[in-house]
Structure 1
Amino acid sequence: MTHTSVTAKRPTADTGVGPAVVAGVVTAVVGFTSSFAVVLAGLRAVGADTDQAASGLLVLCVSMGAGSIFFSWRLKIPMTMAWSTPGAALLAGSAMPADGFAAAVPAFALAGALIALCGLIRPLGRAVAAIPPALANAMLAGVLLTLCVEPFRALSASPAAIAPVVLTWLVLTRVARRWAVPGALGVAVVVMAVTGSFSHLAGARLAPVVVAVSPSWEPATVVAIALPLFLVTMTSQNIPGMAVLASFGYRPRLAPPLLYTGGATVVGAFAGAHAINLAAISAALAAGPTAHPDPERRWVAGVTCGAVYLVLGPASALVAAVAQAAPAGIMAAIAGLALIGTFASAAGSALADGGHREAAAVTFLVAASGVAFGGIGAAFWGLLAGSVYLLVMRRPLWPPR
């Protein structure tokens, strides 16, 4: 496993690894606080109770932390792992399976197996990469739409509790974007303290625990969850994650991290974890020049990020309990605010390609509609509808003479 680093002018003075350590801490803290609400919302939507959601969060943190440490140290590049935020958003927009969370577990495991197979079977990986990005982004944008309107619905229903959260997010987005969602979360904690929500934590389990989930096989649930989860994780996380690393001059082989993230997803599924992958957006925090002037020392940021994730993991039960005790709408508002940037990026990318614009619009509209047929959710049908539209529009009406 080798990589090619950018050619950079060495600093005249040895800056040590301090900047890389700070960058790694920021990467992990921002990554965790800005999207854990989305993960919890996704797991709860498909039937997880508080303990199962906390278990999933713990296993995700451990898997991400271990992967970030190993690959960053082994390859000497800042390769960081993350949970699949788009995948969690997909779950949050899904219907609860008939058999509850037990039916979602095989779907998580199958998605992980498909990710690992992309690392083992190159044609499969190339086939996924060949999916028009416009359709994949449109499916994601359609799913995110229903989540991104939640802050404004909550604001209408509970203005006193939600307005401080939204205003904090707006101000910090203007002056310190990366801290906008963590800042909004901090204000939400203050709101909870003022409203007495923490009194509901009495008797709640606050110690970290791994809860084994016995799987239940529902073919419709597997199709509805596994395939969209696999596709959005690959197209919105793993492939862009490699592109981010390449933009800073790091070009590792894709197969090893796919095998790790896919395998960890399969194992973690039986403890409530939905999916891990290569970091994409947050990857730039550890891989860019702000992490360290010397590209060959930025791997320390990846190792530090992984170590912080391992520290944050044991707080999963406390985080899940606090989210459960929060006033109605406040966690959904934070999750929606955290996804607005992702929605804007996905929608913009989906409609920017003139050759796929109408097919992307069909995909987006069906995915956003929330329709379900045969127990299979809108995300799958949206992608299928867009693909069929694209096939029909590009197929010649008459064969050539």
Structure 2
Amino acid sequence: MFRDFSGQSFFMGVLTAFVGFVSSFAVVLQGLKGVGATDIEAASGLMALSIAMGLCAIVLSAVTRMPVSIAWSTPGAALLATTGVVEGGFNAAVGAFLICAALIVVAGLFKPLGRAVSAIPASLANAMLAGVLLSLCLAPVKAVGFNPMLGLPIVVAWIVVGAFKRLWAVPAALGAFVLVLLFGIDVPEGAWSNVVASALPPVEIVTPVFNLQAVVSIALPLFLVTMASQNIPGIAVLRVNHYEPAAGSLFAVTGLFSILSAPFGGHAVNLAAITAAMCAGEDSHPDPKRRYWAAIISGFGYVVIGLLAGAVTAFVALAPPILIQAVAGLALVGAFSGSALSAFKEPKDREAAAITFLVTASGIAFGGVSGAFWGLLAGGLMLGLSHFVQTLKN
């Protein structure tokens, strides 16, 4: 195994960990706070997720000898950011995280459930995801409206750097955010010492609470979004690069690591898609049999970065929330455009996809249940009715 190690894989693994964390940690923080987490609980959740996905990547890649990249559920975090606090607060959200993780394990081990998730029309799954992402993707515009002197540098950095190298666009936006925070915001006295004091790993155990509202509003949509937008595409990326993973086993293991992270505030870890392409491609090594080291190194990188999650969270908290929301929104523009394109690609599904998108994007909850669930249900009913009418005509 150690003979397969290479400097090329080491560099790509470090880059993967950096890009994977920097590009979306803001989304995770916003998501956890959106369902009621305090700053310390959000920091604990960020740490738990980073360590869990790092250890999961190390274990799976070492055992399978494939570049199995792991990520937190970025679309799931975006979903949480728009869900709102349910009855029972963050404790109920953690209960929903555990249920979601258990469903992922079952989906991996119980093939009919996995097939049922795969059978959800791609147009509706993508429409739901696009509806969830819309409000966050509007945050950069709102940040410029809030204060052009603070918001514009973040947006301009993303645009200019992205025009040359899309991979570095979000890190550039984050760099601009840091500069704005350092030189454009009047930070209260003693705030920097608080950041330094927060460098120790933030461990906060949250007692889970289980109730039906949290299951329907958080657990089920989070499960569907994670499976449809992360796990299934993650398998596809590996197969495109000529690997043949046992999908069910990989799903089940990510579910187990999600269970381990949930009591500390983590919502879900899953197979990566974007960073999977980095580790599984030729840039990590010309020999496909040696690329798994890139995923292993990225795993160690996630663990190290995760231990600094408290300082990261304390630093981000010094700025107006809309600015870090802007960074999160810019990180999700690609996901939004891709999901919207896929949602409306098939003419026969467009009306149902539009209903799913609009109901989800409205953010309106009925009976305490989030719009994402009702959007998928409304779109599914519309699609079923359309197919029924078409069958009668034929």
Compute the TM-score of the two structures, normalised by the length of structure 2.
0.95
Which residue in the other structure is 2:177 paired with? 188
Kindly indicate which of the two structures has a greater share of residues assigned to helix.
2
Q: Once the 2 structures are TM-superposed, how far is the Cα of residue 90 of structure 1 from its aligned partner?
A: 0.4
Question: Residue 55 of structure 1 contacts residue 210 of structure 1 at CA under 8 Å; is this kept in 2?
Answer: yes
Report the residue type matching 2:148 in the other structure: P
Q: Once the 2 structures are TM-superposed, how far is the Cα of residue 216 of structure 1 from its aligned partner?
A: 2.2
* Cα gap change, 1:43 to 1:15, in 2 (>3 Å): closer
* Cα gap change, 1:104 to 1:328, in 2 (>3 Å): closer
2:187 to 193, 197, 204: 197
* Cα gap change, 1:273 to 1:198, in 2 (>3 Å): farther
Which residue in the other structure is 2:162 paired with? 173
Q: Once the 2 structures are TM-superposed, how far is the Cα of residue 16 of structure 1 from its aligned partner?
A: 6.8
Report the residue type matching 2:274 in the other structure: I
Tell me the distance in 1 between the aligned counterparts of 2:17 and 2:81.
Answer: 23
User: Does residue 155 in structure 1 map to residue 160 in structure 2?
Assistant: no
Secondary structure of the 1:197 match is: coil
Which residue in the other structure is 1:254 paired with? 247
Secondary structure of the 1:82 match is: strand
User: Does residue 283 in structure 1 map to residue 276 in structure 2?
Assistant: yes
Question: Residue 228 of structure 1 contacts residue 380 of structure 1 at CA under 8 Å; is this kept in 2?
Answer: yes
Q: Once the 2 structures are TM-superposed, how far is the Cα of residue 100 of structure 1 from its aligned partner?
A: 1.6
Tell me the distance in 1 between the aligned counterparts of 2:44 and 2:294.
Answer: 26
Percentage of identical aligned residues: 48
Report the residue type matching 2:282 in the other structure: P
* Cα gap change, 1:198 to 1:284, in 2 (>3 Å): farther
Q: Once the 2 structures are TM-superposed, how far is the Cα of residue 153 of structure 1 from its aligned partner?
A: 0.8
Secondary structure of the 2:83 match is: coil
Q: Deviations over 1:284-339 (max 9, x none)?
A: 01100111111111011011110101111111101111121113411011011100
Q: Deviations over 1:227-281 (max 9, x none)?
A: 1100010000000000000000011101222111111212321110000000011
* Cα gap change, 1:388 to 1:25, in 2 (>3 Å): same
Number of residues of Structure 1 aligned to a counterpart in Structure 2: 388
Report the residue type matching 1:67 in the other structure: C
1:219 to 204, 212, 215: 212
- CA RMSD after TM alignment: 1.8
* Cα gap change, 1:176 to 1:361, in 2 (>3 Å): same
User: Does residue 336 in structure 1 map to residue 329 in structure 2?
Assistant: yes
Tell me the distance in 1 between the aligned counterparts of 2:228 and 2:291.
Answer: 25
* Cα gap change, 1:43 to 1:117, in 2 (>3 Å): same
Q: How does 1:362-381 map to 2 (within 5 A)?
A: 362-381=355-374
* Cα gap change, 1:299 to 1:377, in 2 (>3 Å): same
- Which sits farther off after the overlay, 193-202 or 58-67? 193-202
Question: Residue 194 of structure 2 contacts residue 314 of structure 2 at CA under 8 Å; is this kept in 1?
Answer: no
Question: Residue 192 of structure 1 contacts residue 198 of structure 1 at CA under 8 Å; is this kept in 2?
Answer: no
Question: Residue 111 of structure 1 contacts residue 227 of structure 1 at CA under 8 Å; is this kept in 2?
Answer: yes
Secondary structure of the 1:93 match is: helix
Tell me the distance in 2 between the aligned counterparts of 1:372 and 1:269.
Answer: 25
* Cα gap change, 1:396 to 1:127, in 2 (>3 Å): same
* Cα gap change, 1:164 to 1:219, in 2 (>3 Å): same
Q: Once the 2 structures are TM-superposed, how far is the Cα of residue 218 of structure 1 from its aligned partner?
A: 2.7
Question: Residue 350 of structure 1 contacts residue 357 of structure 1 at CA under 8 Å; is this kept in 2?
Answer: yes
Question: Residue 4 of structure 2 contacts residue 290 of structure 2 at CA under 8 Å; is this kept in 1?
Answer: no
Report the residue type matching 2:233 in the other structure: P
* Cα gap change, 1:163 to 1:397, in 2 (>3 Å): closer
1:96 to 70, 75, 85: 85
Question: Residue 192 of structure 1 contacts residue 327 of structure 1 at CA under 8 Å; is this kept in 2?
Answer: no
Tell me the distance in 1 between the aligned counterparts of 2:42 and 2:391.
Answer: 54
Q: How does 1:24-39 map to 2 (within 5 A)?
A: 24-39=13-28
Which residue in the other structure is 1:115 paired with? 104
Q: Deviations over 1:321-378 (max 9, x none)?
A: 1121113411011011100000000000000012211111110010001111110010
Tell me the distance in 2 between the aligned counterparts of 1:266 and 1:15.
Answer: 32
Q: Deviations over 1:9-38 (max 9, x none)?
A: xxxxx9971111111111110010000000
Which residue in the other structure is 1:137 paired with? 126
Q: Once the 2 structures are TM-superposed, how far is the Cα of residue 400 of structure 1 from its aligned partner?
A: 9.5
Q: Once the 2 structures are TM-superposed, how far is the Cα of residue 202 of structure 1 from its aligned partner?
A: 3.6
Tell me the distance in 1 between the aligned counterparts of 2:277 and 2:390.
Answer: 47
Q: Once the 2 structures are TM-superposed, how far is the Cα of residue 177 of structure 1 from its aligned partner?
A: 0.9
Report the residue type matching 1:197 in the other structure: V
Which residue in the other structure is 2:95 paired with? 106
Report the residue type matching 1:55 in the other structure: S
Report the residue type matching 1:259 in the other structure: A
Report the residue type matching 1:130 in the other structure: A
Report the residue type matching 2:37 in the other structure: A
1:293 to 258, 270, 286: 286
Which residue in the other structure is 1:350 paired with? 343
Q: Which runs of 5+ in 2 are unaligned?
A: none
User: Does residue 307 in structure 1 map to residue 300 in structure 2?
Assistant: yes
Question: Residue 54 of structure 2 contacts residue 303 of structure 2 at CA under 8 Å; is this kept in 1?
Answer: yes
